[in-house]
Structure 1
Amino acid sequence: MKKDIVMLITDTSIKSIILENIIKDGFIPYLVCISQAPEFLKHTVTQIILIIIDTDKSITELTPFLTLYNNAIEYKSIPLIITTSNWQEEESYLNYSVWDFIAKPIKNCVFQLRVKNAIQHSNFTLTDKLLYLSNYDPVSGIYNKRHFFAVTRKLLNDHPNKNFAIFYFDIQRFRLINAFFGRREGDNVIKYIAAHLQQYQMIFPYFSYGHMSGDVFSFCVSFNTHDQLVALSNKLYNNLETYPLPFAIQPRIGISLIEDNKTDINILFDQAVLASKNCSTNYLQHFCFYENSMNDKSIEEQYVVNNMKEALENDQFIIYLQPKYDLRTNTIDGAEALVRWNNPEQGLISPNVFIPIFEHNGFIVNLDFYIWDQVCKLLRRWLDEGRPIYPISVNISRVDLFNPKLVDTICALVNKYNLSPKLLQLELTESAYTSNPQLIKKRMASLREKGFTILMDDFGTGYSSLNMLKDIIVDILKIDMRFLSDCEIPGRGENILGSIVRMAKWLDLLVIVEGVETAEQVNFLRSIGCEYVQGYYFSKPISIGDFETLIAKKSTFIPPPPDTNQTISADDVWNTTSQLESLFSNMLQAMALYEFDGTNIEVLRGNDTYHAMFGYQEAATIRHIFIDVISDSDYENIWNAFHKVASNHQKAECEFCRKPKNGNPKWINMKLKYIRKMAKKDIILVNLCDITSQKIMEMEVLKYRTALASKENTPQTILIIDDAEVNRTILSNIFKGDFHVLQATDAKGALCILKNHNSLIDLIMLDLVMPEMDGITFLERKLTIPEIAGIPVIVITADDSPQQQNRLLEMGIKDYIVKPFVPAILQQRVKNVFESIKYYNNKLEKIK
């Protein structure tokens, strides 16, 4: 249609000179106000040859329209003239791509010439626009498919000896961006991708790129190594992942290596498309290289896509239920809803075939809602018929989580059928939590507030399981028994699974293990305290009718025979109301449960007395390995005791000395009793008794016996510690006739002497006031060293205060002598100390 309209936007009285010139030149004037202008422009863009804005208002009031005009590519060929009295704003207007600016008052001849020039420009840019639109995509502003193919063909022809690859990529579930956030946001994503491809052109010397259609892009790039292409795929993925939208912008990238640069571009492009369809549904695998075998799989996928809508409309998707069993009662406790496609041509199609395709193209949202609705309808029917009712869990796909209306949709369903939210349980795979943790945390919190039970499926298969469990609250963990089969180190998978069950109990979470297929697996799960199971050992997924028959019969399964030698169950180990817990709570003696696997000894639980004995803080000790602060020889004794109990399932006893870095050493007596086996580990109950005082007494007796045996004719040795030489001289002269005297000028030197000669020293005479380390600090240090802790000490000091004397006597000194010395008195008091030690040792010998 001919362009013959001049759009006149005005808020003032129209000067006849404007209208006269428009009419005289044979154009049709169309007057609109600024508020009507966008809508009128949208519907008449192909007929408008010129836009004139006649206004005396500030530019700020015109900014929305000017922004629209400046950013829309379809308006580029229509010139815009401003006529206004605000000549100071000329520069601001020109920044919006305004073609001309005419300041009032208007001169007729000037206005006529400028309008003529603008219209000529309009006709010229129309030709440019047609050429532009033939080569470029109007949304992204980069080459369209046709021109990309042409440019790429020339690139390959010009460089026949270089290696090239064609990349094809689209955005997974892109149509949901338009559905959830609007088409404008979808266009913004397209422009964002195009901008990154333009940046790549600055990096790679041989590079072509284009926007094929919708969310589909392609580019051709030269390369030297395969790793360069992988790095480029990762770069593209990471660039798009940063787009500011609460939706995962994840490309699915297919790569076709060009073996012959003369190959038809269409063939190379189609190969890249096939490769992209073979990308793993795993969120970590976002690219794939083309292989010849992909053609057959492409035909299968196309069949699925071609028939999916008809299948949903004709109820070809059928609900199957797989029962969940309670191991404690051996009865059904619920079910999981699974889907099968009953195709009239191919029969039952496995979900492994169609679910990944639906997740990619977004159709999974439609299928999920269908399943949710069918399950709610089934639960309502069971209630109306008075049947036994069990909760059914349904899957929520990763795609569903990005739907802002997800919570409202699910709530509307349970309200529609008048159901309790507890009857419809919601399962999410662990990998879904990695897409947008904050968004999913918000969704899950909202659903739990509404009363729904949340299950984390495939727990333990991701790379951040514990981190997610810390941040996102769920009610039930689901673990697949295949988790064990993937472990290369024997026994490690079982130990990890046992630890997960244990951790879940501490967090008040239920655990369901699925994929259970053998009696051995059932016994293993019982042994680690697992309560709920699901798998072919109990029942395969069955039709709704078969499930109704099963629950009507109140069927139970016959469990494998338990281990009759085990008197305490796995549940007792964790149950806070069990007999074992009562025993723990009421015992004043330190008790703990240990886990022994033949190599490691690890604490599972301990009572309050146990915590007090070792100075631990409540649950912080549960995972503490206590043997990290004992000697190698003591470790061997402990290990032998545990190994003996694990082997004969009886009792054992041993002793060890625990030497923490901070604090005094403690001697502990352990009595061990076998409890049961859990997974690959033995659970052993241990009573612990602090025998430190007894051990110190035994050491003193031993020291005394040794001294008697080796020093019958040798004078006893006194170590004098004093920084004053005059004091040391006086004391040496007093005792040198009856004793062997050693001297130390400070406490540190004394410790060195004691380290080297502790078995020879019978008494220490200690001054309190010394530099660096005073006498009290020396006493505290001495008490931490078992080899010298029992050597008697006499303090010599000028401080005669009762408080000081009481403090030191409490620290175990034998006497307290105040300076200045009276030799006779000093000799008698030393003699008294030796006599008291001799008496004490004789008495101890009689007791022994």
Structure 2
Amino acid sequence: MDSYFPSSGDDAAKLLRAQEISRYRITEGEANRNLHLLAQLAAQVTCADISGVTIVHDLHVAVVTGTGVVPQHFNRDDSICAHAVDVQAPFFEVQDMSVSPRFATIQFTEMRHYAAATLFSKRGYLLGTLWVMSCRPRALDESQGLLLLGLGRLAVDALDKQYCDAATGMHNRSSLLQQLQEVLAGSDASEVTVGYIDLTGFHQINEIYGRDAGDRILSEVANRLQHWIGREDLIGHLGGDRFGFALRGTAQDDRLQGLCKTIDKPFSLQEGPLYGLNARIGVVRRSLPTKVSAGALLDMAETAGRMIVSVHGFSVIREYGAVLRDRTRMLEALLKLLEDRPDAGELHMFYQPQVDFSNGCLIGFEALVRWTHPEMGVIPTQNFVALAESSGHCYELDLRIARLVCSTLRRWLDAGLHVVPVSLNLSRATLIHPRLPNAISALLDEMDIPGALLEVEVTEGHLLEAPQAIHQSVDALRSLGLRIAIDDFGIGYSNLDAIATLRFDRLKVDRRFVHGVADNPTTASLFQLIQGVAKVADAELLCEGLERQSDLDWLRHHHAYRVQGWYFSAAQSVDQAERVLRSWKYLSRQPAGASDLRTLFEVE
């Protein structure tokens, strides 16, 4: 049977086929079990001696799995599988290769018969063959040929499932990372640039015009990105509206700006007018060779992209630099901390007293956390808490803090101290986490602590972000006996409707309405409005940030006696707070004035 060799053809077509083939560059020994099983079945149904799956590239062919053969590479000119692909027919067969001079130097010279089902990708590109060979000349009968064709279609499905993204036909994440890892291990380039693309505005297309329109736009984005990336570099679809890429060599800024223009060009929708998409694009450059893995580089690029707060009509690029390296280092340390790794340092709890100065009573503590790392030292609370929230680990962190607080409460109870409630600051994600109430209940049972000794602070902004979920969580926590406080009231939306439907025990006035209240009539008026809200809600009012005697006197005059702030005490360590409780145990037998309370909190 003669073979047909196509002309050189259009360069663009060659580029697209090369990109399509590159998606299936299977590492030796990595082919999945389904492909191997299909090769075995092909040999059985055709009564062949050997069989295999071959991917045909521009310069070589790769036998990726088979029966009676091992994974290996051949020169393209010496491969009969390349001839089968060049014929561009679904089925190719040579009954006796020994009589054809063109196959005289082919591999497996002891084989005489060859038959193959040509593998066409779902996008119509020729990938390679599912083939069988026999030592004797022969021809497959019609049923054997049909079975081989059917197995060939299954082989394409298996290849696509493992290496190809169904929505765009691009590399999927695992295929992209595999090939990037090969670049890192064996490239002649001095540098590689890895990028992460996060489209903005894509979800609105699905919501407004439907999923079919979204799929068409996604396909168009993929086509544009494939033309931008070129033949030598890598690009893949990571899922949803996210893509990843890798550029060999030094990526000039104009190349990356070209990516922005590629994405920013408006898309045409059949259902409506032109529609614009933009992207957050994170990139990381790395000199080669490098010990950093492909997955780690893509994560760095993603981190850089996610640090872009917003885009306004055009795509934005952010490079992974020193600040982001520090963030990644801190995130790695945080994950170790949550895994109880000894090299991650420790969380230490501090407790700031809350007092009622009208009768000299200690009424509670607010729990504050500090993280001390063996190399990075004391890490500011706002830094690692924000990192936990942005990386999706705030629930684990908050539960760890709650455990530390409950452990301290148990210690104080065992010491026979008069223990006061401790308030916890929980993130929004933790508050709406469906497992939070059960986790708190289990913690209280384990430590044998009454729920009334814990107070959960809900910031005013949380009430608007997820009101229904917050209300359900608050109700469940209250059923365990916990107190609920509205924190930082006055600095957010001051949404009276939101707090009117929420059962809470305490309203905490933010420090900006306490500090300087004695001197500023506007601040004083706003304070009195907040005080009125607490009265209407039948909730206790607690004033944060008290630092001055004049403000204390003003608060006394306006009957706002419950306070927290440096005027009385900064946050204290566990041991210092315990000494306060021991001292207060004796002082509580008789009323104390404000000066007595300040003496009580003095650190020895």
For the superposition of Structure 1 and Structure 2, which TM-score range results when normalised by the shorter chain?
0.5 to 0.7
Residue 374 of structure 2 is matched in structure 1 by 344
1:519 to 535, 549, 566: 549
Which of 221, 242, 246 lines up with 1:217 in the alignment? 242
Among candidates 383, 388, 397, match of residue 367 of structure 1? 397
Q: 1:202 to 1:434 in 2, by over 3 A?
A: farther
Quote the Cα distance in structure 2 between the aligned partners of 1:272 and 1:526. Answer: 53
Q: Secondary structure at the match of 1:539?
A: coil
Q: Which residue of 2 aligns with 1:558?
A: 594
CA shift, 1:340, in A, is 0.5
1:305 counterpart = 2:341? no
Shift in Å at residue 129 of structure 1? 5.3
2: CA distance, partners of 1:389 / 1:369: 21
**1:479 paired to 2:509:** yes
- Shift of residue 389, structure 1, vs aligned partner: 0.8
Cα-to-partner distance string for 1:630-658 (whole Å, 9 max, x where unaligned): xxxxxxxxxxxxxxxxxxxxxxxxxxxxx
- Matches of 1:454 and 1:197, distance apart in 2: 44
Q: Does the CA-based 8 Å contact 1:461-1:483 persist in structure 2?
A: no
Quote the offset at 1:431 in angstroms.
2.7
| Equivalent residue letter for 2:149 | Q
Task: Note closer, same or farther for the CA distance 1:360–1:256 as it changes in structure 2 (3 Å cut).
Answer: closer
Q: Encode CA deviations 1:35-61: one digit per residue, 9 max, x unaligned.
A: xxxxxxxxxxx999xxxxxxxxxxxxx
1:123 is aligned, of 133, 145, 152, to 152
Greater relative contact order, per chain length (Cα 8 Å cut-off, separation 6+): 2
Q: Give the Cα–Cα distance (whole angstroms) in 2 for the partners of residues 410 and 47 of structure 1.
A: 56
**1:137 counterpart letter in structure 2:** D
Structural mapping, 1:578-597, within 5 Å: none
**For the residues of structure 1 that align with 2:145 and 2:527, how far apart are their CA atoms?**
82
Whole-Å Cα distance in 2 between the matches of residues 224 and 236 of structure 1?
A: 7
Contact 2:424 2:456 in 1 (8 A): yes
Q: TM-score, normalised by structure 1?
A: 0.40
Task: Sort the Cα spacing of 1:485 and 1:170 in 2 relative to 1 into closer, same or farther, 3 A.
Answer: farther
Secondary structure of the corresponding residue to residue 472 of structure 1 = coil
Which residue of 330, 350, 367 corresponds with 1:320? Answer: 350
What is the 5 A alignment of 1:795-810?
none
Q: CA deviation at 1:420?
A: 1.2
Structure 1 residues 123 and 115: alpha-carbon distance in aligned structure 2, compared to 1, 3 A threshold: same
1:162-194 deviation per Cα after TM superposition (whole angstroms, max 9, x unaligned) = xxxx874499xxxxxxxxxxxxxxxxx9xxx99
Q: 1:385-420: CA deviations, max 9, x gaps?
A: 111211111122222234322111101111112221
What's 1:466 paired with? 496
Q: CA deviation at 1:5?
A: 9.1
Q: Is the 8 A contact 1:396 1:426 kept in 2?
A: yes
d(CA) in 1 for partners of 2:236 and 2:556?
Answer: 58
- 2:442 corresponds to 1:397: no
Structure 1 position 366, deviation (Å): 1.9
The whole-number CA distance in structure 1 between the counterparts of 2:515 and 2:212 is 46
**Separation in structure 1 between the aligned mates of residue 490 and residue 458 of structure 2, nearest angstrom:** 13
- 2:455 paired residue among 413, 425, 435: 425
Alignment-derived partner of residue 137 in structure 1: 165
Distance 1:4 1:492 in 2: 80
8 Å CA contact retained: 2:357, 2:561: yes
Q: Give the drift of 1:486.
A: 12
Judged with a 3 Å threshold, the aligned counterparts in structure 2 of structure 1 residues 127 and 204 are, in CA distance, closer, same or farther, namely closer
Which amino acid in the other structure matches residue 594 of structure 2? I
Deviation digits for residues 733-765 of structure 1, max 9, x if unmatched? Answer: xxxxxxxxxxxxxxxxxxxxxxxxxxxxxxxxx
The residue type paired with residue 354 of structure 1 is F
State the secondary structure of the residue aligned to 1:492.
Answer: helix
Could you tell me whether the CA contact under 8 Å between 1:317 and 1:341 is conserved in 2? yes
Which amino acid is the alignment partner of residue 391 of structure 1?
P
Q: How does 1:726-741 map to 2 (within 5 A)?
A: none
Letter in 1 for 2:412: W
Task: Give CA-to-partner distance per residue, 1:668-722, whole Å, 9 cap, x none.
Answer: xxxxxxxxxxxxxxxxxxxxxxxxxxxxxxxxxxxxxxxxxxxxxxxxxxxxxxx
**How far 1:480 sits from its partner (Å)?**
1.6
The question of whether the paired residues in 1 share the 8 Å contact of 2:534 and 2:540 is answered with yes
Q: Give the deviation of 1:207 after TM superposition.
A: 5.4
Asked whether the equivalents of residues 463 and 499 of structure 2 are also in contact (C-alpha less than 8 Å), the reply is no
Q: CA deviation at 1:356?
A: 0.6
CA distance in structure 2 between the partners assigned to 1:521 and 1:466 by the alignment: 26
**What amino acid does structure 1 have at the position aligned with 2:242?**
F
Matched residue, 1:333: 363
The whole-number CA distance in structure 1 between the counterparts of 2:491 and 2:391 is 25
2:22 is matched with none
C-alpha contact 2:198 2:242 (8 A) present in aligned 1? yes
8 Å CA contact 2:260, 2:315 repeated in 1 = no
SS for the counterpart of 1:408 is helix
List gaps (5 residues or longer) in structure 1. 8-20, 28-45, 49-111, 151-165, 172-188, 229-234, 238-252, 258-265, 561-848
- 2: CA distance between counterparts of 1:379 and 1:138? 54
Query: Aligned partners of 1:117, 1:221: CA distance in 2, in Å?
Result: 48
Q: C-alpha deviations, 1:586-615, integer Å up to 9, x for none? A: xxxxxxxxxxxxxxxxxxxxxxxxxxxxxx
- Name the structure 2 match of 1:3: 37
Residues 394, 425 of structure 1: 8 Å contact kept: yes
Q: CA deviation at 1:538?
A: 1.6
Note if contact 1:255-1:288 (Cα within 8 Å) is conserved in structure 2: yes
Count of residue pairs brought into register by the alignment: 395
Q: Distance in 1 between matches of 2:550 and 2:170?
A: 62
In the alignment, does 2:572 pair up with 1:542? yes
State whether structure 2 residue 477 is matched by structure 1 residue 447.
yes
Relative distance call for 1:341 and 1:491 in structure 2 (3 A) is same
8 Å CA contact retained: 1:206, 1:221: no
The answer as to whether partners of 1:324 and 1:336 remain within 8 angstroms in 2 is yes
The 1:137–1:475 alpha-carbon spacing in structure 2 relative to 1, beyond 3 Å, is farther
Once the two structures are aligned, what percentage of the paired residues are identical? 24
| TM-score, normalised via structure 2 length | 0.54
Note closer, same or farther for the CA distance 1:270–1:115 as it changes in structure 2 (3 Å cut): same
SS at match of 1:222: helix
Structure 1 SS opposite 2:489 = coil
Q: Distance in 1 between matches of 2:463 and 2:350?
A: 26
Uncovered stretches (5+) of structure 2, i.e. residues with no partner: 1-32, 49-64, 68-140, 180-194, 201-205, 227-234, 245-258, 268-275, 284-295, 597-604
